[in-house]
Amino acid sequence: MTEKRLPFSRAEFDRRLGLVRSAMANEGLDALFVTNPSNMAWLTGYDGWSFYVHQGVLLGHEGDPVWWGRRMDGFGAKRTVWMDDDHVSDYSDDYIQSDERHPMQTLATLMAERGFEAGRIGVEMENYYFTARAMEVLRTEMPKAAFHDATNLCNWQRTVKSTDELDFMRKAGAISTKMIEGIMERVEPGLPKNDLVAEIYRDALRGVDDAWGDYPAIVPLLPSGPDAAAAHLTWDGRPFAAGEATFFEISGCHRRYHAPLCRTVFLGTPPQDMLNAEAALVEGIEAGLDAARAGNRACDIANAMMAVLRKAGIERSGRMGYAVGLSYPPDWGEHTVSIRESDRTELKPGMTFHFMPALWMEDWGLEITETILIREGGHAECLCNYPRKLVVKP
Amino acid sequence: MTEKRLPFSRAEFDRRLGLVRSAMANEGLDALFVTNPSNMAWLTGYDGWSFYVHQGVLLGHEGDPVWWGRRMDGFGAKRTVWMDDDHVSDYSDDYIQSDERHPMQTLATLMAERGFEAGRIGVEMENYYFTARAMEVLRTEMPKAAFHDATNLCNWQRTVKSTDELDFMRKAGAISTKMIEGIMERVEPGLPKNDLVAEIYRDALRGVDDAWGDYPAIVPLLPSGPDAAAAHLTWDGRPFAAGEATFFEISGCHRRYHAPLCRTVFLGTPPQDMLNAEAALVEGIEAGLDAARAGNRACDIANAMMAVLRKAGIERSGRMGYAVGLSYPPDWGEHTVSIRESDRTELKPGMTFHFMPALWMEDWGLEITETILIREGGHAECLCNYPRKLVVKP
């Protein structure tokens, strides 16, 4: 058997399968086909940059799941999953970018072999890597099956983290802290943005102590001045300018676990309205952290923050955070719980969130955020450790 | 109007629209909805890390196209597209990760407003960011429309590069060269892999001279020894070992254009079969480059390479290259022309390929590759510049 590299124990593997099967039973599913790379990794251990071709994990109610994908990635699966080699099923390269055949034809055959030909099968219809074409080919090949949208069914089982997962996230948090420290040390007028991103990546990948750095699921974002309103434009070669605020949205990553952290710098003397907003934001974060207790609800965090912002006369709408943990590009959110006024999910010990009450104004943005852990007793714990303030470099 | 940052001229914008409209007419399409971020960028200039939410470009036969996406990304679009602000259409954050509404409902409204309610509309059904759910919502909302799979329709118009695009790719090639030089200088037994990746990213992002570094669409891959068979597993914190080969699959990136380059190092004394394979591979690449001439076909490159490999007794199947250029994660291939024995696409001046005749054996892998440009006269030009050999560090 191939040498294995597994991030969790066999007992934890069984626990995860049990959670997902219970959710499948609630939905009346005979089988679940998971394509979200984060769900694949959490369920089986699989970790590879291969989500640009069709792949997935097929899970019924009996026995181990089956990893399914491209032949060359099957070799990677055999090294990284809890199942034995008989539970790795592959298709040949003839199916890659072919006009004549589609990989889902081989998945349909596999599903039939496993007895799901006329089953009720959950698929993640809103996952990035499950295309409209994939769905159509499956429907054509399996006319007797009933497909059910099971987007996020598996994601929801991931919200409460195990001790090992929290260990990975604390390490990611230590890397995030180091990244922000490096940024604040180096940023200055005249420094080309790409040169700073080079150092941010270097810090992220070198990691901290025994926590080696993995690639974050989102590239560093660092818009300045009025570009804060267009927060997802990436960097170029232009330099930082004096008299502007820049916010940094980054995350360290260890074994695919993230702990995002955002801080803002002003190069020069910040305007009074930004300082006022900073004071309200910091007070609001403290209020939010205090509301982030097991037994409370996700909306309680948002409401606590909003009360402080409203008192300070700041208008804001939209989410102010989301569940976070194991992720692959293009997003590090878990797509389950949101910290917003309409989300009544109960907070449980072991849940982790990026609490991100960013303020995006017309000509500046202010981001001061924390990745937080809901605890058994008391208020939430922050997994990163950097002063909660607007950094001013005169 | 917002300050613009555009990577191509208005004339080039018009030329690209013309190419796509002509292909649309050939397919009898009234409209095309493009979701592939590379196609969005090539058609309009839009460049942002926002493809994790629904977005796209809607193009009819008259007037400018419409950028459509999330409100905060609309601000980014106004800064980066050739169209005026009236041709940027957005949806509110209520549509993000909502169980009650879907962004495609707003796209359906936009399409109806533009007169496509009962039209024949091309959609990219096999694109990563066009989910099965997106297709179903569109079908439900637009029962009179006929949807047609137009995957890669736009990609095919991108195969021949403009002078500006080639300038970006040459810059990406210079960055790739620098990255491989840095790798070969630094790699040695005992060096943790993540520490080398930290330097690779630093070189990639610092760039070369006036060519600032952008993020590559794929992370560096660097499997060692038997892991070469599982080429898409990413790095961890373990060190390089003596007596093993490692291949490096990397690309520099400038303004989203790539020029991938792979080289292999052996730490110690390579076995004779690897040296034999190296000699055949290098001779095969030269034969392939000589066949890579305007007027020849893509298969001619593959056949020339295969003839040399067969003569050396090396078995190999599968693709040995693909069209390359403008790309976003998770892949830097253009998904059009393949360098393989079955692809009879005519080679034209300005086409660019990653010519990648990798050899993946049981216990080692050998990758020596080139990004090449088909020229008006003579054989192909290589866009990177590193000795074409197995690097041996004793």
Domains, chain A? 10-157 (3.40.350.10), 163-393 (3.90.230.10)
In this prediction, residue B3 carries a pLDDT of 62
- Report the percent of chain B where pLDDT is more than 90: 90
**What does the pLDDT average to over B267-282?**
96
Prior bond of A357 cis (ω within 30°): no
Query: In tens digits, what is the pLDDT along chain A, a chain of 394 residues?
Result: 456 778 899 999 999 999 999 999 999 999 999 999 999 999 999 999 999 999 999 999 999 999 999 999 999 999 999 999 999 999 998 898 888 899 999 999 999 999 999 999 999 999 999 999 999 999 999 999 999 999 999 999 999 999 999 999 999 999 999 999 999 999 999 999 999 999 999 999 999 998 999 999 999 999 999 888 888 999 999 999 999 999 999 999 999 999 999 999 999 999 999 999 999 999 999 999 999 999 999 999 999 999 999 999 998 877 899 999 999 999 999 999 999 999 999 999 999 999 999 888 777 889 999 999 999 999 999 999 999 999 999 8
Max CA pair span of chain A: 69
* Contact: B233, A135; criterion CB under 8 Å: no
* Chain A residues touching B97 at Cβ < 8 A: 322, 333, 335, 338
d(C-alpha B9, C-alpha B151), whole Å: 26
CA A181-A187-A190 angle, to 5 degrees, is: 170
- Radius of gyration over every alpha carbon of chain B, rounded to an integer in angstroms: 23
Phi and psi at residue A353, to the nearest 5°: -135, 150
Beta pairing class for B370-373 and B365-366: unpaired
Q: What stretch of H or E contains A353?
A: strand A352-355
pLDDT of B205 over the 60 cut: yes
Strand bridging mode B66-70 / B56-59: antiparallel
Indicate the Cα dihedral angle A195, A197, A198, A201, nearest 10°.
170
Contact B254, B213 (CB under 8 A): yes
Mean pLDDT value of segment B297-302: 98
Structure confidence at residue B133 (pLDDT): 97
Instruction: Name the burial class of residue B279, with classes exposed (0-12), middle (13-18) and buried (19+) by CB atoms within 10 angstroms of its CB.
Output: middle
Cβ(A321)–Cβ(A355) below 8 Å: yes
Please say whether the beta carbons of A250 and A196 come within 8 A.
no
Question: Is A201 in a helix, a strand, or coil?
Answer: helix
Give the one of B47, B219, B255 whose C-beta lies nearest to A233's C-beta: B47
B386: distance to nearest CA of chain A, Å? 23
In whole angstroms, give the CA distance from residue A149 to residue A32: 10
Selected residue of A52, A168, A209 to mutate for chain B interface (largest B Cβ count, 10 A): A52
Q: Reduced to 3 states, what is the DSSP secondary structure of residue A244?
A: strand
Tokens read off for B171:
């810059």
Q: Residue B153's pLDDT band (boundaries 50, 70, 90)?
A: very high
Using alpha carbons, select from B207, B206, B183 the residue that is nearest to residue B196: B183
**Preferred mutation among A205, A210, A331 to probe B, highest tally of B CBs within 10 A:** A205
Are residues A195 and B218, on separate chains, in Cβ contact within 8 Å?
A: no
Distance (Å, whole) CA A72 – CA B233: 10
| Structural tokens at position B233 | 């597993």
B19 phi and psi angles, rounded to 5 deg: -60, -45
* A205 contact residues in B (CB cutoff 8 A): 194-195, 197-198, 201
Closest residue in A to B138 (Cα–Cα): A132
Using a CB-CB cut-off of 8 Å, the residues of chain A touching B234 are 47-49, 214-215
Give the best residue of A38, A79, A93, A215 to mutate against chain B (max B CB count within 10 A): A215
Asked whether residue B4 carries a pLDDT value surpassing 90, the answer given is no
Average pLDDT over residues B104-118: 98
Could you tell me the strand order of the sheet in which A391-393 lies?
A: A244-254, A257-267, A391-393
- Residues B139-165 have a mean pLDDT of 98
> Taking CB atoms and an 8 Å cutoff, what residues of chain B touch A231?
72, 76
Is the pLDDT at B387 greater than 50? The verdict is: yes
Q: Determine the Cα–Cα distance for residues A322 and A335; give it in Å rounded to an integer.
A: 7
Tell me what pLDDT residue B243 has: 96
Measured between beta carbons, the chain B residues lying within 8 angstroms of A340 are none
CB B46 within 8 A of CB B4: no
Structure tokens at A263: 């801080």
Q: Under 8 Å CB-to-CB from A375, ≥6 apart: which residues?
A: A293, A294, A349, A381
Strand order in the sheet with B31-34: B88-91, B66-70, B56-59, B31-34, B120-123, B146-149
Rounded Cα distance between B25 and B6, Å, is 28
Report the pLDDT value the prediction gives residue B227, as an integer from 0 to 100.
85
Residue of B193, B201, B212 lying closest to A201 (CB–CB): B201
Q: Round to whole Å and give the CA distance between A200 and B215.
A: 12
- The candidate with the shortest Cα–Cα distance to A137, out of B36, B135, B105, is B135
Angle of the A103-113 helix axis to the A132-141 helix axis, nearest 10: 40
Residue of chain B whose Cα is closest to the Cα of A95? B318
Distance CA A171, CA B47 (A): 32
Q: Return the pLDDT at A1.
A: 47
- Asked if B194's CB is within 8 angstroms of A213's CB, the reply is yes
B205, A221: Cβ pair inside 8 Å?
A: no
Residues of B in contact with A213 (CB under 8 A): 194, 197-198
Higher pLDDT, B3 or A274: A274
Checking if the pLDDT of B1 tops 70, the result is: no
Contact B195 A206 (CB under 8 A): yes
Determine, for residues A48 and B195 on separate chains, whether the beta-carbon distance falls below 8 Å: no
Half-sphere exposure (Cβ direction) of B240: Cα atoms closer than 13 Å: 26
Give the pair of three-digit tokens for residue B273: 């079969």
Quote the minimal CA–CA distance from A391 to chain B in Å: 25
The residue of chain A with its CA nearest to that of B318 is A93
Distance in angstroms (rounded) separating the CA atoms of residues A113 and A66: 12
Tell me the Cα Rg of chain A.
23
Helix (H, G, I), strand (E, B) or coil at A276: helix
Q: pTM for the complete prediction?
A: 0.97
- Give residues with Cβ within 8 angstroms of A152, minimum separation 6: A124, A126, A335, A336
Give the angle subtended at the CA of B124 by the CAs of B120 and B130, to the nearest 5°.
120
**Mutual angle of helices B193-206 and B163-186, in 10-degree steps:** 150
Is A232's CB within 8 Å of B76's CB? yes
Q: How far apart are CA A23 and CA B13, in angstroms?
A: 50
Mean pLDDT of B373-380: 95
pLDDT at A205: 98
The pLDDT of residue B2: 55
> What percentage of chain B carries pLDDT values higher than 70?
99
Which chain B residue's Cα is nearest to A211? Answer: B237
Nearest CA-CA distance, residue A392 and chain B, Å: 26
Round to whole Å and give the CA distance between B186 and B358.
23
Can you tell me the distance from the alpha carbon of A383 to that of A373, in angstroms, rounded to the nearest whole number?
7
Contact between residue B312 and residue B277 where contact means Cβ atoms under 8 Å apart: yes
Strands B257-267 and B391-393, by their bridges, are: parallel
Inter-chain contact B197–A207, Cβ cutoff 8 Å?
Answer: no
In whole angstroms, give the CA distance from residue A360 to residue A223: 11
Helix runs in chain A, H state only = 10-26, 37-44, 71-80, 103-113, 132-141, 153-157, 163-186, 193-206, 272-291, 298-311
Contact check, Cβ <8 Å, B201/A198? yes
Please tell me the distance in Å from B183's CA to the nearest CA on chain A.
Answer: 14
Give every strand in the sheet of A370-373, ordered side by side: A333-338, A321-324, A352-355, A370-373, A381-382
Pairing between β-strand B31-34 and β-strand A370-373 as defined by DSSP bridges: unpaired
Buried b (16+ CB within 10 A) or exposed e, B350-360: bbbbbbbbbbb
CB A241 within 8 A of CB A224: yes
Distance from CA of B333 to the nearest CA of A (A): 10
Strand partners for B338: B322
